[in-house]
A and B are shown apart, each in its own frame.
Chain A
């Protein structure tokens, strides 16, 4: 078949993405989250002034997957590292990409204080309720009763406490300009997640303080389910435990149409 019409480009690799193949497991939503960040950076024209901070966790090699300057932080310290960069290069766009073990356990002090200081950075927080890279241990976000390699009988709240809702907590900080929880379990939610990421970067570009998007994410490998079951788990188990919503939106961002 031939066509007289020029081809319409409907899908291509964002410029902010590198051509590397990711090491993520089948069904993992890190790839989607990465792509959303790359699309937003492209759309806002930020690639050439962006500096990313990769975490320790499954996204440890994030710097290989983005076509922009990156540094690699110690476990949990990405917000501190981002602070150092942003303070000496205030004109640059600085963002961290962190998981729940990194951000909500070992890096709790760093994230809380970055928000409290109103550090003008953007944080992409992938919450999949488990430690992925080390092979599926209990995370601070693991749901009550959820089995992991370090809670083999299911998370016992009497012994191991309750999951931490980071967005709700950070939204109480006056320094936070934008705190939203979104999910990556279906296309409609992915579109909303992208809008949230856009707003989180708009918050930084407008100097409105700390911005974080929490993304409910899947880990089929360590949850020991199929990719589809993993998405279902997010919708049925995680969303009730971690309600989606805009916990804090600066009025200037609320007015924004994206």
Chain B
């Protein structure tokens, strides 16, 4: 295969198909709709299941049912749609069936807007639905990376019988860039030994998230937790730029991380010893590597397209070892590389923090940019 110019949402959908997705169930929502449209065209061509559901609630429950058959199934949506899916997501987690969910995030809360955002970090990374469960969250930063990680998402979902969220934002869903698709994977000929398929020549199987006896539920919670610790051990992924000799680290994921990479390169041209640390697994969060970075650098700048959500995870790991600063844009605003470059320069000047509260200090700087109309 060679590189082609691919539109994000369509490339993600084709990547899912090539990873063996046999069922797609979704509902139109900007900026993820092309995913559904593409699937509506391609899945019937291949004799695979596609349903445009009556709502995101129905869509995720179709995913839930189809996931119980052990086949690779998925949905794609955007922030408000993902909120609606949270009930089903919790059931899928409780039933321990694999499913891949792509969230093309947009500005919020509420109806918000259709511009790119990372405001769903808490909802995706911390669970979002009710009860004790731990989804895997992958945050690619380019069309190519999203193609690669959607394939991985299906593998991880099967391996751990887990939900895998792939979070991108409206930028990545809508942009076109050169990327290479993987070859089509053959579909498995047999179903896993837990799947429902009709009790022919074997005892019946029941898949459920109900454990009416609290002690049984607790055992289930413990099983999920232990599996999560295993995932934390094995599945951490991140990318770095110029970190080897870095005295300052910028930390950002997805689009924010990608924009920050331009700023880091520009800062290097100016002689600032700064590197980029870009978590790809938001969950499991790359804590070990971040601890090492906190020992290496003098100061950390977290950059996000939200109000500082990953910031909380970073500060929890850094534990005050070095100052952690923050720069974010919210509401569907994507920061420019120059904005982040300005932040890097400021951080590298080692100006003493005003009060040590990264968010409060950022708000003051942000208000000078956006006019302080809040």
Interface residues of A (CB under 8 A from B): 18, 47-51, 53-54, 60, 63-64, 66-74, 77, 80-85, 87-89, 92-93, 109-110, 112-113, 117
A66, A74, A112: which contacts B87 (Cβ < 8 A)? A74
Is the Cβ of B65 less than 8 Å from the Cβ of A83? Answer: yes
Contact of B61 among A63, A64, A73, A88 (CB under 8 A): A73
Q: Is the CB of B198 within 8 A of A68?
A: yes
| Most chain B CB atoms below 10 A, which of A47, A68, A74, A88 | A88
A88 touches B54 (CB 8 A): no
Known contacts A63-B206, A85-B68, A87-B23; is-contact A74 B63 (Cβ 8 Å): no
Given the complex, which residues of A lie within 8 Å of B73, measured CB to CB?
A: 84, 88
Given the known interface contacts A63-B208, A109-B54, A113-B58, the answer about A88 and B71 at a Cβ–Cβ threshold of 8 Å is: yes
Docked-complex contact A82 and B65, CB < 8 angstroms: yes
The residue of chain B having its C-beta at the shortest distance from the C-beta of A110 within the complex is: B58
Residue of B nearest to A112 (CB): B54
Known: A51-B197, A73-B61, A84-B51. 19 other contacts (CB 8 A): A49-B200, A71-B206, A72-B95, A72-B206, A74-B61, A74-B88, A77-B61, A80-B64, A81-B68, A83-B62, A84-B63, A87-B49, A87-B66, A88-B23, A88-B73, A89-B198, A92-B197, A92-B198, A110-B61
Contact (Cβ within 8 A) A67 B68? no
Cβ distance A86 to chain B, nearest Cβ, rounded Å: 8
**Complex contact A84–B64 (CB within 8 A):** yes
CA distance A7 to B209 in the complex (A): 44
Question: Which residues of B have CB within 8 Å of A71?
Answer: 65, 68, 95, 196, 206-208
Provide the residues of chain B in CB contact with A80, threshold 8 Å: 53, 57-59, 61-62, 64-65
CB-CB under 8 A from A84, the residues of chain B are 23, 25, 49, 51, 61-68, 73
Give the CA-CA distance A112 to B54 in the complex, in Å: 9
Contact of A81 with B61 at beta-carbon distance under 8 Å, contacts A48-B198, A87-B51, A92-B197 already known: yes
Is the C-beta of B158 less than 8 angstroms from some C-beta in chain A? no
User: What does the 1/0 interface line of B21-62 toward A look like (CB < 8 Å)?
Assistant: 011010000000000000000000000010101110111011
Residues of B participating in the A interface, judged by any CB pair closer than 8 Å? 22-23, 25, 49, 51, 53-55, 57-59, 61-69, 71, 73, 87-88, 91, 95, 196-201, 204-210
The answer on a CB contact under 8 Å between A68 and B55 is no
Contact A85 B210 (CB under 8 A): no
List the count of A-B residue pairs having beta carbons below 8 Å apart. Answer: 133
- Write the chain B residue with the least CB distance to A63: B206
Output the least CB separation between A177 and chain B (Å).
18
Interface-central residue, B95, B207, B208, B209, by most chain A CB under 10 Å? B208
Chain A residues with CB under 8 A of B200: 48-49
Measured between beta carbons, the chain B residues less than 8 angstroms from A72 are: 95, 206-210
| Nearest B residue to A109, CB-CB | B54
Q: Is the CB of A85 within 8 A of B69?
A: yes
Indicate which residue in A51, A53, A74, A110 contacts B198 across the interface (CB closer than 8 Å).
Answer: A51
A54 and B212 alpha carbons, distance in the complex (Å): 15
Contacts A/B (CB < 8 Å), 12 sampled: A47-B199, A48-B199, A49-B198, A50-B199, A51-B198, A69-B196, A69-B197, A69-B199, A69-B205, A70-B204, A71-B68, A77-B58
Known: A88-B22, A88-B23. A109 touches B58 (CB 8 A): yes
Shortest Cβ gap from A173 to chain B (Å): 13
Contacting pair A69 B206 (CB below 8 A): yes
A97 CB, min distance to chain B CBs, angstroms: 13
User: From residue A106, how far is it (CB to closest CB) to chain B in Å?
Assistant: 10
> A68 contacts B53, CB within 8 Å?
no
- Is the Cβ of B23 less than 8 Å from the Cβ of A51? no
What B residues does A66 contact at CB under 8 A?
204
**Nearest Cβ distance between residue B159 and chain A, in whole angstroms?**
20
Q: How near does chain A come to B145, taking the closest CB pair, in angstroms?
A: 29
* Contact B25 A69, beta carbon cutoff 8 Å: no
Residues from chain B with a CB closer than 8 A to the CB of A73 are: 61, 64-65, 91
Least Cβ–Cβ distance between A5 and chain B, in angstroms? 36
Provide the bound-state CA to CA distance between A73 and B209, in Å: 9
Max chain A C-beta neighbours (<10 A), residue from B22, B73, B199, B200? B199
Is the pair A113, B53 in contact by a Cβ cutoff of 8 Å?
Answer: yes
Residue of A nearest to B23 (CB): A88
* A70 and B207 within 8 A (CB): yes
- Could you tell me the distance between the alpha carbons of A73 and B37 in the complex, rounded to whole angstroms? 27
Decide if B64 touches A81 in the complex (CB within 8 Å). yes
Q: What is the bound-complex CA distance between A72 and B210, given in angstroms?
A: 8
Among B69, B201, B204, B208, point to the contact of A88 (Cβ < 8 A): B69
List the 4 shortest-distance A-B pairs measured between CB atoms, nearest first: A84-B65, A81-B65, A72-B208, A84-B66
- Residues of the A chain whose Cβ atoms lie less than 8 Å from the Cβ of B53: 80, 113
Nearest neighbor of A113 in chain B, beta-carbon distance: B54
Contacts of B206 in A (CB 8 A): 63-64, 69-72
Q: Among B59, B65, B91, B200, which residue has the most Cβ atoms of chain A within 10 A?
A: B65
Chain B's closest residue to A48 (CB) is B200
The closest CB in chain B to the CB of A67 belongs to B204
State whether A69 and B204 are in contact (beta carbons under 8 Å apart), knowing that A51-B198, A84-B25 are contacts in the complex. yes
A18 to B199, CA, bound (A): 13
Bound CA span A83–B51, Å = 9
**Bound: A44/B89 CA distance, A:** 35
Contact residues in A for B205 (Cβ distance below 8 Å): 69-70
**B65→A85 contact, CB < 8 A:** yes
A85-B58 contact given A72-B208, A74-B87, CB 8 Å threshold:
no
Known A-B contacts A72-B210, A83-B65; the reply to A77 vs B71 at CB < 8 A is: no
